Amino acid sequence: MSKVQKPTDRINPCLQHERRLLGCLLNYPEQITAVMGMTPPVTRETFLGVPHIALWESIESLHKEGAPVELDSLWRQIEQNGQAARFSQLGGINYLIDLQKGTDIPNAIPELLLVVQGEASRRKLAQTYPDATDAQIIGWETEDPDQIKGVRWMRDIQPQEVRWLWPGFIPAGKLTLLVGNPGLGKSTLTCEVVARLSRGIALPGAEAVPAMACALCCPEDDDGDTIRPRLDAADFDENMVCVLKDVRTIPEELPLLEQIINRYRIGLVVFDPVVSFLSGKLNAHKEQDVRRGLTPLVELAQRTGCAVLGVMHQNKQRGGQALHRAGGSVAFVGIARAAMMLGIDPDDPERRVLAPLKNNLAPESKSLRIRLETPTGHKVARVEWLGECDVTADMLNMAADDVEEQTKVREAMAIIREELAAGPKPRTEVINRAKSEGIAPRTLRRARDRLGIPGDSTDWSLPPTQASKSAA
């Protein structure tokens, strides 16, 4: 292993790299424009050698003026800048001639620039922290000065197939979301998935995978009277499922989670609901905050191969695509590699449909119908699988909007009947009452039309058929 050198000990290598870079630019001046536009920008601070600083400033001046960067014009520019004395001990213009004798080709410029800028960065660190130890400097520079930490060339990366816990729905080593309105059975569904994985039982449309340990993070549900009964109803293996009580915030407690995953070989972690785990320092409605909080979780899943399933409620936004109905920022769905929606079956309100919402890793799967039933000997429901269907997430979204709208219209109709039960009333009084109850004007108009009340009447009254219903 080569001896660790501090940046101040690397003067000769620095100057050699600078000589090669500047020589290459003198031989191939057409490359100067590209170098000028690179990020981070090349400045006088990029160079260590004083003559090299003077040479770069002269190259900059000629380039900005649109003048050709040639040996004679460059030397004249150096003289005009009052920098010729910098080259007196180097042979004057002969130093530029020596630089042009370099054998580097244009393709070498990006790599040379990378090295020169890296040396400049390390010099700045050494000046800022003069008491830095060798161990600290190792963190700033690799033993190979041409290599920068965090860069992976595709030649070193082999293609891999995506592994699935549930093909089309839950990939291994990725973040997946389950989105749906409250009360539809999302937590019951997650317990069904956990139970099957804990016993190595195939999920619908999939082949069985080896039994795996699963972990539940469900702060809103009691372990004994809620989570355990659901898992019992789903017929789980109690030796393969645990609850995590000390993983409370993301990303602060992810080191503990990673330790647990590695120690117990956890294959699936469920966060229900995932929003409640986001650090209090982060706003679930701001995209940047959500990505800052969830990116470390995504990276953890990739490192460990553990699948992460986050459960989310839908927002109250009406209309639009189902993809935008997940609560909080759209970044939740954006950062997840797969997402699914649970909704009421438009053809039967007693059934549910699990529909793919997003899948970045495979073609979209068919939706699945389910029913929640209570098995004999249990007091809580479990999932009964009813097969595939053609109901999409957008269809579930529209159906949910229709159900909600119909409910509000019925509420508005009830208010109108109550107000007009004793006889006609001024229209403004009924409108004010509806407004105080949170009924939107559009909903009130639909309720009025259904009751057969003329919209242009100053006073509203119930038609005889509706009046009899109100009296009943």
Per the CB < 8 A criterion, the answer to whether 208 and 201 are in contact is yes
For 242-278, what is each residue's pLDDT tens digit?
A: 999 999 999 999 999 999 999 999 999 999 999 999 9
pLDDT in tens, 184-211: 999 999 999 999 999 999 999 999 889 9
Query: Would you state the structure tokens that stand for residue 115, as one six-digit string?
Result: 């090295």
Mean pLDDT of 96-119: 86
Q: Tell me, what amino acid is at 148?
A: I
Query: Residue 417 is encoded by which pair of tokens?
Result: 């009947």
pTM above 0.85, yes or no: no
pLDDT tens digits, one per residue of 344-396: 888 888 899 999 999 999 988 899 999 999 999 999 999 999 999 998 888 88
The pLDDT confidence band at residue 7, using thresholds 50, 70 and 90, is very low
Q: Which tokens go with 192?
A: 């069904």
Q: Quick one: three-class SS letters along the chain? A: CCCCCCHHHCHHHHHHHHHHHHHHHHHCHHHHHHHHCCCCCCCHHHCCCHHHHHHHHHHHHHHHHCCCCCHHHHHHHHHHCCCHHHHHHHCCHHHHHHHCCCCCCHHHHHHHHHHHHHHHHHHHHHHHCCCCCHHHHHHHCCCCCCCCCCCCCHHHCCCCCCCEEECCCEECCCEEEEEECCCCCHHHHHHHHHHHHHHCCCCCCCCCCCCCEEEEECCCCCHHHHHHHHHHHCCCCCCCEEECCCCCCECCCHHHHHHHHHHHCEEEEEECCHHHHECCCCCCCCHHHHHHHHHHHHHHHHHHCCEEEEEEEECCCCCCCHHHCECCCCHHHHHCCEEEEEEEECCEEEEEEEEEEEECCCCCCCEEEEEEECCCCCCCCEEEEEEEECCCHHHHHHHHHHHHHHHHHHHHHHHHHHHHCCCCEEHHHHHHHHHHCCCCHHHHHHHHHHHCCCCCCCEECCCHHHHHHHHC
Taking 70 as the threshold, does the pLDDT of residue 309 lie above it? yes
Question: So what's the pLDDT on residue 199?
Answer: 96
The predicted model gives 428-451 an average pLDDT of 88
Token pair in block for residue 337: 């590699």
Higher pLDDT: 323 or 411? It is 411
Inter-residue contact 290 to 329 (CB < 8 Å): yes
Q: What is the pLDDT of residue 377?
A: 94
Burial of 172 (0-12, 13-18, 19+ CB in 10 A): buried
The answer to which of 78-82, 167-171, 324-328 has the lowest mean pLDDT is: 324-328
Under a CB-based contact definition with an 8 Å cutoff, are residues 389 and 366 in contact?
yes
What are the angstrom distances between the C-alpha of 146 and each of 16, 141, 142, 233, 428?
A: 13, 9, 8, 60, 78
Q: Is the separation of the CB atoms in 272 and 308 below 8 Å? A: no
Question: Residue 121: its pLDDT value, please?
Answer: 74
| Selection from 66-75, 117-126, 311-320 with the highest mean pLDDT | 66-75
Report which of residues 23 and 472 the model is more confident about.
23
For position 107, what pLDDT does the model report?
Answer: 84
Percent of residues, the chain, with pLDDT higher than 70: 88
pLDDT for 138 equals 47
178, 333 in Cβ contact below 8 A? no
- Report the 10 Å Cβ neighbour count for 116: 22
